[in-house]
Each structure stands twice: as structure tokens, then as C-alpha cells.
Amino acid sequence: MPNLYTSAALPAGQAGTVVGANLVTQAYDKLVEFALRSVPSFRAAADKKPAQQSHAGSSVLFQLYNDLAVATSPLTETVDPDAVAIPATSTVAVTLNEYGNSIISTRKLDLFSLADVEPALANIVAFNMNDSLDTVVRDVLNGGSQVIRESAGSLSTSAAITTITGSDTIKSRDIRYAVAKLRAANVVPRRGSLYASYIHPEVSHDLRAETGTAGWRQPHEYVDTSNIYAGELGTYEGVAFVESPRLPNSQAGSGAGASQVRVFSTFVMGQQALAEAVAEEPHTVIGPVTDKLMRLRPIGWYGVLGWNRYRSESLWRIETASSVRPTV
């Protein structure tokens, strides 16, 4: 007579008693990890805010004085020169909008869940607030009119975005051009003598991989090769770089279908490129429990604010492909 096994599971063809269905169960790690997250950073670019706002309103109008035309003609000793009018001010309007999101968790979920759900929900909502608003700010910056494009192997300020090919990666010349234009327009740097740049890591790769004596690996600030070995982008061509995967990178260049070129944006800016107005600072909101059995628990975030490009001359956008992720 064959042995009858009392076991967690029986091999095929063997007889016995299986107790595993009740006594042997799958184990779980009670620590539930959050998704990988990038750090929101674009709102830090908004360094122009109302200084003496007159009253609450649905928008805030900023004004800039314009200078007089230069007076280069000599005066005539006996002629009283005509007075000239001060030019009208230039205006920039920032429209305020409501932004927010919310979720409702149940009492039953809290009681039955193997993990502590409530703190996780608060964390997810708080990140959603920063993530959402950062995307709004990023899209405002991405709408600037001053654009540099790598197109057909050359730097262009007029070529269509659809002319960008997979080999049109970022070059040091793009950074130099943007800095030259910022300095020529009297734009104030953001940190000492340095302008600021937000650059995607997959674009940064191409800048650091550029060969030749005018490339990233040659300048004086990187004579210390330990910076290169560490993969540090640092300061280069008068710009302090911030790497972020949040840069726009879904625009379409040349090609179609599976070979459609993915276009990345890189921002180079000085002071007062972006204005921000706030009626109510974004914050987490714990909603009231109003159902009959007190089981539905709302949590969300809410804010009333807005952004707009303030000094257009303070912002340049560089659009290029990336060798790391060349297609959409």
C-alpha cells in the first residue's frame, strides 16, 4: 500500500491529504512602495510675483516701463527742445485658475487592508498636487517664442520642428547661442553671472558625449576629471544646469509612425522669465465625512493661482532629438 502524505501540495499521481489550501498561504510584504518619482522643479523659475497688488481679482496685470528713445542730436543753444512723451507701459497678464484633485477612501478599506493606507493616500495626493502644477508651469515655459532648433545638422531659429532628424542632437553651440542672446538683451543672470538651464537627462547625455575641442569635456572647469567620472554636468558656457526628466519630450520631429523623431525641449533662462500670481496657495484638503454611516473619507488638494511668461527675452527654448531615445 503506498504512503498517504499529509502535505502542502501533492505531486501528480500521488495520493494523500492536502492541507495547504487552509494552512499554507502566500505571504506579503506590508511595506508598499511608491512609484518612482521625479522632483517637481519648474515652479522655482517663477521669480516675478506681485509686489503691491491693488486688490483681489481674477487676474493680475503686471506693467513694465519702456525707456525713451536715445537722444543723440546736439542741442541748439538758443532753442528750447520739445518735450517728448514717456512710452506707454508694456503689460503682462496672469490669469488665476482653480486647480485641484481629490479621492474618496472607504472605512472598509482602512479596516481590511494589510497595509496602513491613510498615510499613503495623503502622500499620493500631495505628490499629485506638485506633479500637476509643475506640469502646468512647464507647459507655460514651453510656449515661449524664442526657439533654437538643431535642424539638418545646423543651428536654426526658423526651421520647422518637423525638420529635426534623429541625428540633430544638442550641441554646445546651442547653449552658446542662447547665452549670447540673453546677454545681448541685457537679461540678468539667475545666479551670479550664470544663467539657468533645465535639461532632460537623455539630452544631457548627448551634450556630454559631444566630441571636439569645443565640447563639454574640454573647458577649464572640467580640467579636474573627477567631475567627468562622476557624470556631473555642472556649469558650462555661462549656464548652471539642472537635470530633470520632466522636460517636454513628446513633440514630433521628422518621420512618421515608428520612426517619428522624438523632440526634447531644453530651457535656458535668466531672471524674470516667468511670473506667478497666487490667490490661494495650493494645499492638501481633508474633506468632511458627510455620508449617513460616516464611511466615505475625502482627501484632496486645492489652489488658485496662475503663471505667464513675463520677460520674453529672458527665455530661450532649445529643441533637439536625443540619441538615447530617438523616436516617439
- For the segment 215-264, what is each residue's pLDDT rounded down to a tens digit? 766 654 444 455 544 445 778 899 999 999 999 999 899 999 999 999 99
> Helix (H, G, I), strand (E, B), or coil: what is residue 102?
strand
> Helix (H, G, I), strand (E, B), or coil: what is residue 185?
coil
Question: Are 255 and 282 in contact, with CB atoms under 8 Å apart?
Answer: no
- In the chain the first and final C-alpha atoms are separated, in Å, by 67
Q: What's the longest Cα–Cα distance across the chain? A: 134
The mean pLDDT value for 286-314 works out to 96
Model confidence at 4: pLDDT above 80: no
pLDDT, the chain, mean: 90
300-326 CB burial, b ≥16 within 10 A, e <16: bbbbbbbbbbbbebbbbbbbbbbebeb
> Helix (H, G, I), strand (E, B), or coil: what is residue 1?
coil
> Which residue reads 519702456 in cell numbers?
66
pLDDT digits (tens, 9 = 90+) for 101-138: 999 999 999 999 988 899 999 999 999 999 999 999 99
> Helix (H, G, I), strand (E, B), or coil: what is residue 146?
coil
Picking from 252, 263, 210, the residue whose alpha carbon sits closest to that of residue 233 is 210
Question: Are 159 and 149 in contact, with CB atoms under 8 Å apart?
Answer: yes
The mean pLDDT value for 276-283 works out to 97
What distance lies between CA 130 and its chain's CA centroid? 11
Q: Which residues pair with 44 in a beta bridge?
A: none
Q: Strand 235-236 and strand 239-243: pairing? A: antiparallel
Question: Are 265 and 251 in contact, with CB atoms under 8 Å apart?
Answer: yes
The residues, any chain, with a CB within 8 Å of residue 292's CB and separated by 6 or more, are none
Backbone φ and ψ for 25, nearest 5 degrees, come out as -125, 165
Backbone φ and ψ for 117, nearest 5 degrees, come out as -80, -40
How many Cβ atoms are within 10 Å of 121's Cβ, its own excluded? 17
The mean pLDDT value for 297-319 works out to 97
Query: Quick one: pLDDT band at residue 298, thresholds 50, 70, 90?
Result: very high
pLDDT digits (tens, 9 = 90+) for 159-181: 999 999 999 999 999 999 999 99
Q: Which helix (H) or strand (E) holds 92?
A: strand 90-95
Backbone φ and ψ for 184, nearest 5 degrees, come out as -65, -25
What distance lies between CA 129 and its chain's CA centroid? 14
